[in-house]
Amino acid sequence: MTISESQKLQFRTEGYMIVPDFLDASELAMVRNACDERIKAIEQEMQSRGVTRDRINILGKKYFINNARIHNPALKSLIFSEKAAEVCRATIGTEAFLHNEQFVVKMTDTDTSFAWHQDSGYSVYQGGAAPHKPYITFWIALDNMSLANGTISVLPFSRAPSRDLLEHSWEAGVNAMVGYRGDDPGDLVEVAAGTLVAFSSFLLHKSGANTTSAPRRSYFIAYTPELFTYQDSSKGIYSSGDILMQNNQYINS
Ligand SMILES: O=C(O)CCC(=O)C(=O)O
């Protein structure tokens, strides 16, 4: 897999780029299976506690499932792959540490949209991370993504209020952090399963509701060019921190 000059240019100027067929058929099947296992596990766990809401998870509606690699180690062959390092090299440079990985699942429901935000907005304004250089998010479509099933929209840097971190605040009505309240609808990203959308953690994005009868699954992996701490530095490093690339050398963790 090579990243073209025009993809790199789009990333630099607009904050994102699209890599079709990032996953081959067997990788796609492996990641989908891992996702389906985690969905079952989170549903059982919430049911056993008798809760229907847990942070931004809503039983039967939407799930954000972190650190799936701990239960499904096969995911590490993708997270710590040479091609992941290649995308990092084309976007954040010569150093890359795992920041976070999670499945984002929207079951059939019209209440599954996700408001405008930057990923670093969640890190800083909800997670308590210290200010940091932008990191890279890999948003990988596990299903064909469309307006109907709640794909993402991005607000390219050239139309955004800023290429830097924006202040985010919690909005109870949408059960999410919000970093943009303007009227630009953004650009809808309709892509096939297996496609990677790689975007800066300072890129505003949102996603719509899933109005179809099938779950809509995405896999999200983020890598950071430098390890950063919490604002309260006594809490230590904010990211997962496993190394993918150091000094431009891919490390097979
Ligand atoms: O709907 C999605 O898959 C995107 C979720 C998202 O924007 C995020 O997890 O930051």
d(CA 247, ligand 1 centre) in Å: 30
d(CA 162, ligand 1 centre) in Å: 20
Interior CA angle at 70 toward 150 and 240, to 5°? 80
Q: Can you give the residue range of the structural domain that contains 75?
A: 5-250
206, 113 in Cβ contact below 8 A? yes
**Whether residue 253 has pLDDT greater than 90:** no
Q: What is the CATH number of the domain that holds 27?
A: 2.60.120.620
Model confidence at 210, in pLDDT bands (50, 70, 90)? very high
Report pLDDT for 108: 81
What does the pLDDT average to over 118-137?
A: 96
Report pLDDT for 130: 96
d(CA 123, ligand 1 centre) in Å: 14
Report pLDDT for 161: 97
What does the alpha-carbon distance between residue 217 and residue 110 come to, in Å, rounded to a whole number? 15
Strands (DSSP E) along the chain, which ranges? Answer: 16-19, 53-54, 57-58, 62-66, 96-106, 114-117, 136-141, 152-155, 169-171, 176-178, 187-188, 196-200, 204-207, 216-224, 243-246, 249-250
Q: What is the DSSP track for 164-180?
A: SPPP-EEEGGGTEEE--
Protein residues whose CB sits closer than 6 Å to any atom of ligand 1? 104, 114, 119, 152, 205, 207, 218, 220
Residue closest via CA to ligand 1's atom 9 equals 104
d(CA 219, ligand 1 centre) in Å: 9
Tell me what percent of the residues of the chain surpass a pLDDT of 70.
Answer: 100
Domain count, the chain: 1
> Which among 57, 116, 139 is the best mutation to test ligand 1's pocket, defined by most ligand atoms within 8 Å of the CB?
139
Q: What is the mean pLDDT of the chain?
A: 95
pLDDT tens-digit series, residues 38-82:
999 999 999 999 999 888 788 998 899 999 999 999 999 999 999
**Whether residue 121 has pLDDT greater than 90:** yes
Residue closest via CA to ligand 1's atom 8 equals 119
Task: Give the predicted TM-score (pTM) of the model.
Answer: 0.95
